[in-house]
């Protein structure tokens, strides 16, 4: 693996981690404001996190 590919892979992992972290933090804020909507918020959070993780994996395998 060449150096630019390694840097690209690192950026992909960092970006996916930041995105999933932001989703989790926003979901916790939303649950704190509306505890009765916990199930809907968690479902949306898990779907979004799975999509981000899938894109991250696909990008890593393309490198």
Q: What is the mean pLDDT of each run of 10 residues along the chain (63 residues)?
A: 88 94 97 97 97 91 80
Q: Are the beta carbons of 49 and 18 closer than 8 angstroms?
A: no
Q: In this predicted structure, what is the pLDDT of residue 36?
A: 98
- Which string of DSSP letters, residue by residue, matches 1-63? --HHHHHHHHHHHHHHHHHHHHHHHHHHHHHHH-GGGHHHHHHHHHHHHHHHHHHHHHHHHH-
Domain ranges for the chain = 19-62
- CA 7 to chain centroid, in Å, comes to 19
> 60 Cβ partners below 8 Å, 6+ apart?
9, 12, 13
Look at residue 63 in the predicted model and tell me its pLDDT. Answer: 74
């Amino acid at each position: 693996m060449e150096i630019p590919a390694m840097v690209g892979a690192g950026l992909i992992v960092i970006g996916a981690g930041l995105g999933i972290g932001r989703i989790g933090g926003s979901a916790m804020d939303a649950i704190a404001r509306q505890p009765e909507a916990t199930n809907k918020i968690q479902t949306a959070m898990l779907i979004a996190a799975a999509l981000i993780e899938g894109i991250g994996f696909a990008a890593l395998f393309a490198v």
